Amino acid sequence: MNQATFLATLAGRPPTAVLRLPANQVGRDFVIGDIHGAFDVVYEALALVEFDPRTDRLFCVGDLVDRGPQSDHCREFLAQDCVHAIRGNHEQVLLNLHAHGKPSRDALLAALSRYEGEWWLELALPDREALLSALRCLPVAIEVETETGLIAMVHGDVPSGMSWPDFCADLEVGRLSTVITALEGRDRLKTQDCSGVAGVKRLFVGHTTVAGGPRVLGNVWAIDTGAVLAQKRGSPAYAATLLELTATEADLQNSRLSGTGRRTRLVERTASTHLHQEQRGPVIAMRA
């Protein structure tokens, strides 16, 4: 996405650039890496941790669509109260394409082929409109209060050396260079920059697929561990990663691969896993 293309999206700026949420007093908070249409892997992971949609929350670091087989489930997924997602560059591409009404067929085909988004063509027009409305509401970043401090997430990156409060201030005024880094930056991963992000306890990012589990760089955890690749290829190097927000590095070392073909990596807080067991009661599946 070049800057000229991106300018079109200023019309599609989210009503809330940075979503700020209070601590979850009644359940657990989880975050999952890029989904890319692999929703059955997500539901499998949630079942493995006995996710309770009445009390638990699921955060997503963006790129819910394209590449995988179930992108058309995105709207139904986002409509669940327990799901809190930010936008990734793939969502932004769809918004860009439709920023000025119906795109030309050529523009649509070129972008969809580049981003493996051909599923879009199969959607009925009202469903496209409904999904675009949902995507427009996705914030660029989320921050959540936890008992260990403020935990944040963004799809791409925070510019190197920029603090979290400065980053949020930029997003709120729509500063283009910062928004682009938020959606598709990956310099920190490329350069293995461990300097971290000041002003926040931990930052989760997606966008850059890492093999062999999450990568920790300072207080930044890169958690796009290739859910869709696990689903499509069954390669042991890739798995969907579902973690409790406050999991520790020790928990990460003790994470386990589970589920069909061991395509899910679960990182649960050993100390808190059973803390709310009695309160949770019977588990309700998010989807039949």
Distances, alpha carbon 211 to alpha carbons 108, 183, 225, 237, 239, in Å: 31, 21, 6, 5, 8
- For residue 169, the tally of other CB atoms under 10 A from its CB is 15
Q: How far is the CB of 56 from Mn ion (least distance, A)?
A: 25
The sign of the dihedral angle between the CA atoms of 224, 230, 235, 239 is: positive
Nearer to Mn ion, 63 or 251 (CB): 63
DSSP H or E stretch at residue 216: strand 215-217
Nearer to Mn ion, 61 or 82 (CB): 61
Nearer to Mn ion, 29 or 63 (CB): 63
Paired strand residues for 32: 60, 242
Q: How far is the CB of 116 from Mn ion (least distance, A)?
A: 12
Q: How far is the CB of 190 from Mn ion (least distance, A)?
A: 14
Residue 77 DSSP SS3: helix
Q: Contact residues for Mn ion (CB under 5 A)?
A: 63, 88-89, 207
| CB 18 within 8 Å of CB 140 | yes
Q: Residue 80 gets which letter from DSSP?
A: S
Position closest to Mn ion via CB: 207
Q: How far is the CB of 207 from Mn ion (least distance, A)?
A: 4
* Cα end-to-end span (Å), the chain: 37
DSSP H or E stretch at residue 7: helix 3-7
Q: How far is the CB of 36 from Mn ion (least distance, A)?
A: 9
Nearer to Mn ion, 82 or 85 (CB): 85
Nearer to Mn ion, 88 or 159 (CB): 88
User: Distance (Å, rounded) from C-alpha 94 to C-alpha 116?
Assistant: 12
Nearer to Mn ion, 66 or 268 (CB): 66
Residue 142's nearest CA partner among 227, 226, 206 is 206
DSSP H or E stretch at residue 119: helix 119-122
Nearer to Mn ion, 65 or 245 (CB): 65
Q: How far is the CB of 88 from Mn ion (least distance, A)?
A: 5
Q: How far is the CB of 147 from Mn ion (least distance, A)?
A: 30
